[in-house]
Structure 1
Amino acid sequence: MNRGGRNRSTADRKGHKGEGLAAFYLQCKGWRVLARRQRVGQGRGVGEVDLVVRRGRTVAFVEVKWRSDVRSLDQALDEQRLRRVARAAQAMVHRFARPDDVTRIDAILLAPWHWPRHITHVWQP
């Protein structure tokens, strides 16, 4: 395996760990996890939502970011990534939300030895 493959594999493992921690955190806050790692589209049009969660009438499509130090979290989210999450959420909203539900894009930022930071309404198109 080449070095790039190892780095991708390590990033995937950390991503899975971060998503698991974020799901646990949200469940402790009263959210119910509806889905994990939902993908839509192909090629350059692919979008992914890390977690889809519900609490009451609110359905949140959550982008999870795990970084090795808390300072790196400030640069973890960018407009391009959030736009892709929003496109994916829009494509799959019919699977998770009812007509009277409120939907939004959230983010959970994680770093070792720090409480998760839950940012609500992180993206408004």
Structure 2
Amino acid sequence: MAKGAKRPERERIRRWRLGRRAEWMAALALMVKGYRILSWRYKVKAGEIDLIARRGDVVAIVEVKARTSIEAAMDAVGPFAQRRIEAAADHWLRQRPDYDRLSLRFDIIAVTPRRWPVHIPNAWQARP
């Protein structure tokens, strides 16, 4: 293996670890706020959801972003990513007929250096 070939692999592993750590911190922040985590890293062909949490009658579909700022985290969830998350949420909801009576919301949690995770409820609205 060439010396330069190891560098991209290390970077990929570093980013994977950072993402998993950010998801754990986001889940902890949600639990402190009274949410129950229903699912972690829900993945289907249509898309992926980092966290699915519930508090009362609200089911939060949560995208976790580890970035240097809150603005960078919000910008990282563009229209294409939103559509994929919405498609995965549709799939998840179809598997749970009792959840049709609950309110569904799309949130972002920004995990930034040396700060408690910032929860942005209703970060976007699902398109019909």
- TM interval, short-chain normalised: 0.7 to 0.9
Q: Deviations over 1:61-89 (max 9, x none)?
A: 1000002x226335322111111111111
Amino acid at match of 2:60: A
How far did 1:95 drift?
Answer: 3.7
Q: Which moved more, 1:94-103 or 1:16-25?
A: 94-103
Q: Is the partner of 1:39 in helix, strand or coil? A: strand
The two structures, once aligned, show a CA RMSD in angstroms of 1.8
Larger deviation: 92-101 or 105-114?
92-101
Aligned residues: 120
Partner SS, residue 121 of structure 1: strand
Report the alpha carbon displacement of residue 8 of structure 1 after superposing the two structures with TM.
1.8
Greater alpha carbon shift after TM alignment, 83-92 vs 14-23: 83-92
Query: Shift of the alpha carbon at 1:100?
Result: 1.4
Please report the TM-score for the alignment, with normalisation by the length of structure 2: 0.84
Q: 1 CA distance for matches of 2:103 and 2:77? A: 23
Q: Radius of gyration: which is bigger?
A: 2
Out of 84-93 and 22-31, give the one that drifted further. Answer: 84-93
Contact 1:15 1:65 in 2 (8 A): yes
The answer as to whether partners of 1:86 and 1:123 remain within 8 angstroms in 2 is: no
The runs of at least 4 consecutive aligned structure 1 residues that moved more than 4 Å come to none
Question: What are the equivalent positions in structure 2 for 1:61-100 lying under 5 Å apart?
Answer: 61-67=61-67, 69-70=68-69, 72-95=72-95, 98-100=99-101
TM-score by length of 1: 0.85
Q: Which sections of structure 1, spanning at least 5 residues, go unmatched?
A: none
Task: Tell me the equivalent position of 1:102.
Answer: 103
